[in-house]
Structure 1
Amino acid sequence: MIIALHYPFYKAIILMLEFIVIIEVVKMISEFIKKKRLRMRYVIDVFIIFLTREVIILTTHPDKDHQEILFLLLVIFVFFLFRILAVQFSPAHSKRKKSQTKF
Structure 2
Amino acid sequence: MLLDAKEGDIKLMSSPVGYPAQGVVTNLTHLVEKREGPAIKCISNCVAPCNRGEEAKVVGFCIADRLSDAYEGNLETGLFFSGTNGYKLDKIITVKELLDKLTQGE
Relative to the length of structure 1, the TM-score reads: 0.26
The structure that is helix-richer by fraction is 1
Q: Larger RCO: Structure 1 or Structure 2 (Cα < 8 Å, ≥ 6 residues apart)?
A: 2
Higher-Rg structure is 1
Relative to the length of structure 2, the TM-score reads: 0.26
